[in-house]
Amino acid sequence: MGIDEGFDMIPPLSREAKDVKDWENFLDCVRTFYKDDPKVETNSHSIGFNAGEYPELPFEGHKFLRFSSKISGRIASDTGVENYINMVTSMAKIIFGPRVQHWSEAFDQYGHYGWEEIHRVRETWDKPDEPMSTAPDPPAAEPGQQSAQDKHLKLFEVQQLPGKGRGLIALCDIAKGTRIVREKPLFTIDSMPPAQLDKVIAAKVKALSKEEQRQFLALHNNSPGKHAFTGIAKTNCLPCGSDSTTGGIYLTICLINHSCLPNAHNNWNEDYEEETIHATKPIKAGEEITIDYSKADPSHIRQQQLRNSFGFDCQCTLCSLPPQQLKLSDDRRVQIQRLDDGIGDPMGMLSRPGACLADCLSLLKLLEEEYGEAASIFVARACYDAFQISVAHSDRSRASAFAERAYKARIICEGEDSPATQRMKRLMENPASHRNFGACSKKWKGSDKFLPSSLSADEFESWLWRRAT
């Protein structure tokens, strides 16, 4: 088998000028040091060391994750690979400092990255990069079936962030609606008592590769103590669907930090059995990618919840506002919840649908004030509420228009290929296929005889929300 040794670059280098320059200096250093060594070869895309398992350094630093080889066994000792590993590691440390993390299986240390990821990046060495400034394809042009992993490497990197542990930082400008990550759970867990759950998780962790075990154990644990596996799993798991009692653990997605005004949205895609992350607003290169762990409550409630469940005091842009401005947000969130509860009341929908529809419009206005252009997921839900009210009273035209808005909002935060997005599309095309069509009354029937195509934008809004003009 042999013992592996080497170093990983954590986080990987970016394509920014400083990293590019540092990598060039490092390669110059290596070339100069080994200029008379016939075992050190310059290839078309790398410097190769004809020793052990032929460790290599690519010409492009952002495509480098690991320099390593087996250092035991006959081939290794005959070729002196251990000396190359040690010397190259020392040179890298001089230039890149603590980013260079040396490890040796002889001391039960393992690299940071998985081999699958290493090989995937290795395959890009001879491929040209996409231009950095080009915004990624919107989801409509990205069915999601192509290698999302390739996209990971270009869109973000994992970095250590002061006071926050690890997080995801955008490597380029990311357009609103872009799918940033698509990831299968490392494993899933169901709800059960902690003692029992700990045994179940221990068995699942045991079945993982050593590298995966190491990465799982490196995830944050907000309840250290007797049930360590359960602590990590509960701190990190994301529900597989909004009402699901099953949760998934992810090695990348679980590193995404929280913001009460996030720039990304997480969603379980049951067709793929994967979690997806989409940009809900444009994200600038260098900006942290965030999702919302909270239940969108006013600040004092959500901060308590974040402290209890995840062990941190939220210092996001919203929580850091001066008290007067924070109060405006808190008041809005109270109003949003009040309207949401009222709209969800079946009696209201039955007896006063016009007022419920007006409440949906008020809700949408508040959501846009609170979340700005990142409101898509809430817009999708509010428009679906308006759809349900219209459908229940047999109004096909408006129901279709509301379903279209919900559909467009879902594309942004879940992608065209999400089952919920596709469902909205089907309802947009045929609102009468909804099981509650006409369930409350037929009083809004016949709206489909009126086609609102000739209306101005303002007139259309008045028609849609049944406001008197």
Task: Give the binding site for Zn ion (CB under 5 A).
Answer: 260, 314, 316, 319
Distance in Å, CB of 336 to Zn ion, minimum: 16
Triad 441, 336, 266: Cα angle to 5°: 95
Alpha-carbon span 423 to 419, nearest angstrom: 6
DSSP reduced 3-state for 266: strand
Q: How far is the CB of 327 from Zn ion (least distance, A)?
A: 15
Transcribe 107-146 into DSSP letters: GT---SS-HHHHHHHHTTTTSPPPPTTSPPPPGGG--S-S
Closest approach of Cβ 285 to Zn ion, in Å? Answer: 23
Residue 303: CB minimum distance to Zn ion, A: 7
Which of 241/298 has CB closer to Zn ion? 298
> What are the angstrom distances between the C-alpha of 455 and each of 35, 187, 301, 401, 462?
76, 52, 44, 14, 10
- Closer residue to Zn ion in complex, CB, 175/301: 301
Residue type (1 letter), 6? G
For residues 68 and 235, which CB has a smaller minimum distance to Zn ion in the complex? 235
In the numeric block, the tokens 């005889």 are attached to 449
Kindly give the interhelix angle for 228-236 and 194-206, rounded to the nearest 10 degrees: 90
CB 256 within 8 A of CB 290: yes
Query: Least Å distance between CB 299 and Zn ion?
Result: 7
- Please report how close the Cβ of residue 260 comes to Zn ion at its closest, in angstroms: 3
* CA–CA dist 201, 166 (Å, integer): 23
Closer by beta carbon to Zn ion, 304 or else 351: 304
Residue (199 or 307) nearer to Zn ion, CB? 307
Nearer to Zn ion (CB atom), residue 285 or residue 319: 319
β-pair partners for 266: 277
Min dist. Cβ of residue 333 to Zn ion (A): 12
Return the bridge partners of 165, or none. Answer: 161
Closer CB to Zn ion, 36 or 313, in the complex: 313
Ranges of H-type helices in 97-227: 115-122, 148-155, 194-206, 210-217
Between 316 and 379, CB nearer to Zn ion: 316
| Neighbouring residues of 393: CB distance < 8 A, sequence distance ≥ 6 | 353, 438, 440, 441, 442, 443, 444, 445
**Nearest approach, Cβ of 314 to Zn ion (angstroms)?**
3
Q: Sheet containing 4-9: give its strands across.
A: 66-70, 4-9, 100-104
CB-nearer residue toward Zn ion: 187 or 293: 293
Nearest-approach distance from CB 414 to Zn ion, in angstroms:
23
Cis geometry, peptide bond prior to residue 11 (ω within 30 degrees of 0): yes
